[in-house]
Amino acid sequence: MTFSDLSNKIFWDCTTYYHTMDNVDAVPTIPYTPGTIEYSLFTKNWIDTVQWHLEDIIRDPNINPEEALKIKRRIDKSNQDRTDLVEMIDSFFLEKFKNVEPRNDATINTESPAWAIDRLSILALKIFHMEQEANRSDASEEHLKKCNEKLKVLLEQRVDLSKAIDQLLLEIETGKKYMKVYKQMKMYNDPSLNPILYGTKK
């Protein structure tokens, strides 16, 4: 099983598992051992899935402003948790490939493996929800047709991205590419970097 196969299976299992409850406050039972990459992948998709639905909720035009603010704060925290987990997954790859000696002509990729895997997690959500839209019994034929066309594109995109991820990992493993990970250094959540939070004006 390739790493993309493993990721796609876990992401899909997690997404479908969430929808058996369909509750942003649900606490998942994670079927993997803490500290394993499988646990991290499942947790990653759970964060993405909950945030997907929080983003839906906050777009309700009739939402109470106070409730919307609470959800916005929750989304901000979710974004930070997501970033932290992506960096944790990259740490897994850094450890895995730490003894690989890059070739003299090795090149760097535009994104790290974990950020590509992050996009694979989001694709699982897009595919799941597009499938729902493509099979709605109360929708028009035109709606169903458009959603089926979009679904085909998303499925093709998952195949392409999966191949690209596995190729990247193979090239890192064989020294054709090398990993260099930069922390995201998000500023808006840091009390020492966000002017609104540290009380000064520029």
**Is the pLDDT reported for residue 19 higher than 70?**
yes
* pLDDT band with cut points at 50, 70 and 90 for residue 201: low
* pLDDT band with cut points at 50, 70 and 90 for residue 184: low
**Contact present, 150 and 44 (Cβ < 8 Å):** no
* pLDDT band with cut points at 50, 70 and 90 for residue 193: low
pLDDT tens column, 134-167 = 999 999 999 999 999 999 999 999 999 999 999 9
**Residue 185 CA, distance from chain mean position:** 18
- Rounded Cα gap, residues 116 and 119, in angstroms: 5
For the ranges 67-76, 159-168, 177-186, the lowest mean pLDDT is seen at 177-186
| Strand partners of residue 177 | 107
pLDDT tens column, 91-133 = 999 999 999 999 999 999 999 999 999 999 999 999 999 999 9
DSSP summary character for residue 59: T
38: Cβ–Cβ under 8 A, 6 or more apart, which residues? 6, 10, 32
First vs last C-alpha separation in the chain: 53
User: What are the DSSP E strand ranges found in 73-127?
Assistant: 107-108
Give the closest residue to 15 by CA, choosing from 127, 99, 166: 127
